Amino acid sequence: MGRAHDGVSVFDFEGRSVPCIVIGESKYAEMVSKAAGKSLAINTDLNILYDCMGHVFVDVTLGFSRGGMVEKFLIDAQKNIGFFEMLAETAMLAMSSDSGTGSVFMIQLPRPEKARDALDLIRNAMTESNGAVTGI
């Protein structure tokens, strides 16, 4: 799918593998400037999209409680299953800039069970042959 976000990785953070979404430098700077030093919540929605041919994508939506920011990323779950396994394990998500500065914005999922439930749905969708759309 041409809309899928390619900037997805897993990196080592203090001895733990953490899933990371890499975004453009200007978008990263905007996110950090609106969030830095502020108390905020980030609602994380994981909408699993799959068809009867085994294609599985996850629409990751991050809604920031301050600053009015909503970021959406469509991730190919088949190519990035490790990303979702680490998300379910750590309940943490990192955001970083593609500029290579090494700066990372960490998000702790408010409801870790959502990531575990999403991983189960992703795994089931990869093996099932009936199409559906669901959200966590």
Give the residue extent of every domain in the chain.
Answer: 8-135
Using the 8-state DSSP alphabet, how is residue 55 labeled?
A: -
pTM of the model: 0.86
Q: Assess contact for 48 and 72: CB atoms under 8 A.
A: no
- Tell me the average pLDDT of the chain: 86
What is the token pair recorded at 93?
């998500």
What is the token pair recorded at 99?
């500029």
What is the token pair recorded at 62?
């991050």
- % of the chain exceeding 90 in pLDDT: 48
Model confidence over 70-117: pLDDT tens digits? 999 999 999 999 999 999 999 999 999 988 777 888 999 988 899 999
- % of the chain exceeding 70 in pLDDT: 93
- pLDDT for 20 equals 95
